[in-house]
């Protein structure tokens, strides 16, 4: 599996002695009173300033960061602590302990634990300096994207053209709109709103929410918040259909939910995801394109799932080709893959929009072949 090197690295922990790590596994001192990971000391990085690290950790409470990655607490424990499914390994019963007071985690399943920086290292498969950079970026960007998301969600019901577009794409259920936090960017008003809230223009430009000349970047677009990004789908045929803000598109969409199922449906677009979720298929996830980034691929490999691929049945065969290639890569990592064969010219969205129902899709799932 693709996760083995990380797992080995993290069980020992970079730059730590095996003796110390055994102690950590047996007693998980990270959740005791004395844990204070001496980054600058044990990793020999003089450049990493202890105070800056403490500040960063203070500004990013572990629980906030976990929840932004879709992690959900399942069971409360004493002292305000929580148990939930471990986002770092294929977990069947909650073995991931989070102490929000101390901003520390420990997993009884995979034996890993630590603070928010350690979590980011393992979760995103990054080295320490890259994890720091990612968290610093997240600290700056997260509140801004949250504000933009809230604003776009407020706009959705004020714009009949946006609601009409959603209906036309088969998105009807208020529960779905809530679940996906779907919003609408009319254009010409986000910049003013965010600046009123005190965000300086350069920050809005840097995030890509505002263009270099100062206009809202998203105009007449349905907006879906992703992990650290916003996807905007144009409702007008005159503009390029798909837009992302600068930066990575993130991991698989709603992976924390989908990964709990032994069978996972992978689709290409968020409107495919939407109609399937609405039809009751909650074991669905989306790569936002047919090309999976390294993290998305690793997520698919991180557990005993069977992956059902349902990419667009394009006339030029590109969807089928991407699907075949991905299936081979998955099989090479020991992950069974099946192809869902949709009627010619259809994607899951158009299949449901044009009258397909859950029962019919279920039949296609059962008929899916490797
Ligand atoms: Zn774990």
**pLDDT tens per residue across span 29-65:** 344 333 444 444 444 444 568 888 998 999 999 999 9
- Residue ranges with CB less than 5 Å from ion ligand 1: 86, 88-89, 107, 109-110
Q: How crowded is the C-beta side of 313, counted as CA atoms within 13 Å?
A: 13
Which parts of the chain fold into alpha helices (H)? 4-12, 18-27, 39-42, 50-59, 62-68, 116-123, 128-156, 160-168, 174-180, 190-196, 201-207, 255-258, 270-278, 294-301, 318-332, 348-353, 358-367
pLDDT at site 90? 86
pLDDT at site 125? 86
Supply the pTM of this predicted model: 0.78
pLDDT at site 48? 66
Residues whose CB falls within 8 Å of the CB of residue 111, separated by 6 or more in sequence, listed in order: 11, 25
Q: Which residues of the chain have pLDDT under 50?
A: 1-46
Backbone angles phi, psi at 205, to 5 degrees: -65, -45
Q: Give the C-alpha separation, 57 to 61, whole Å.
A: 6
pLDDT at site 68? 83
Ligand 1 centroid – CA 251 distance (Å): 18
pLDDT at site 140? 84
pLDDT at site 27? 37
Ligand 1 centroid – CA 112 distance (Å): 6
- For the segment 179-203, what is each residue's pLDDT rounded down to a tens digit? 999 999 999 999 999 999 999 999 9
pLDDT at site 99? 96
Percentage, residues of the chain above pLDDT 90: 69
| Alpha carbon distances (Å) from 255 to 46, 73, 98, 284 | 37, 15, 20, 8
Ligand 1 centroid – CA 225 distance (Å): 27
pLDDT at site 98? 97
Ligand 1 centroid – CA 129 distance (Å): 23
Q: Give the C-alpha separation, 323 to 342, whole Å.
A: 13
Ligand 1 centroid – CA 8 distance (Å): 13
pLDDT at site 47? 54
Q: Give the C-alpha separation, 318 to 29, whole Å.
A: 51
Ligand 1 centroid – CA 283 distance (Å): 21
Ligand 1 centroid – CA 84 distance (Å): 10
Give long-range contacts, CB 8 A cutoff, 24+ apart: 163-169: 165/222, 165/235, 166/222, 168/353, 169/271, 169/274, 169/275, 169/349, 169/353
Burial 317-350 (b: 16+ CB within 10 A, else e): eebbebbeebbebbeeeebebbbbebeeebbbbb
């Amino acid at each position: 599996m693709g996760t083995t090197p990380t797992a080995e690295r993290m069980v020992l922990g970079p730059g730590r002695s095996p003796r110390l790590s055994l102690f950590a596994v047996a007693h998980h001192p990270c959740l005791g009173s004395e844990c204070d990971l001496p980054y600058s000391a044990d990793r020999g990085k003089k450049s990493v300033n202890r105070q800056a690290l403490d500040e960063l950790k203070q500004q990013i409470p572990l629980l906030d960061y976990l929840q932004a990655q879709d992690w959900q607490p399942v069971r409360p424990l004493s002292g305000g602590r929580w148990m939930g499914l471990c986002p770092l390994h294929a977990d069947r019963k909650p073995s991931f302990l989070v102490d929000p007071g101390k901003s520390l985690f420990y997993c009884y399943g995979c034996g890993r634990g630590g603070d928010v920086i350690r979590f980011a290292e393992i979760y995103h498969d990054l080295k320490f300096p890259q994890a720091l950079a990612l968290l610093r970026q997240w600290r700056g960007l997260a509140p801004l994207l949250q504000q933009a998301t809230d604003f776009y969600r407020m706009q959705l019901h004020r714009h009949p053209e946006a609601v009409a577009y959603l209906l036309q794409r088969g998105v009807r259920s208020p529960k779905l709109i809530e679940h996906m936090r779907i919003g609408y960017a009319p254009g010409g008003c986000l910049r003013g709103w965010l600046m009123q809230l005190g965000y300086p223009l350069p920050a809005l430009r840097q995030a890509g929410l505002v263009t270099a000349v100062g206009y809202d970047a998203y105009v007449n677009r349905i907006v879906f918040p992703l992990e650290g990004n916003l996807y905007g789908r144009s409702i007008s045929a005159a503009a390029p259909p798909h837009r992302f803000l600068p930066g990575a598109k993130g991991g698989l969409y709603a992976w924390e939910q989908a990964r709990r199922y032994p069978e996972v449906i992978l689709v290409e677009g968020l409107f495919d995801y939407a109609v399937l979720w609405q039809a009751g298929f909650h074991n669905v996830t989306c790569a936002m394109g047919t090309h999976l980034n390294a993290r998305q691929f690793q997520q698919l490999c991180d557990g005993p799932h069977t992956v059902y691929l349902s990419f667009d049945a394009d006339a030029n065969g590109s969807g089928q080709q991407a699907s075949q290639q991905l299936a081979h890569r998955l099989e090479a990592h020991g992950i069974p893959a099946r192809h869902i064969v949709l009627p010619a010219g259809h994607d899951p969205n158009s299949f449901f929009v044009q009258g397909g129902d859950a029962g019919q899709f279920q039949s296609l799932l059962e008929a899916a072949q490797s």
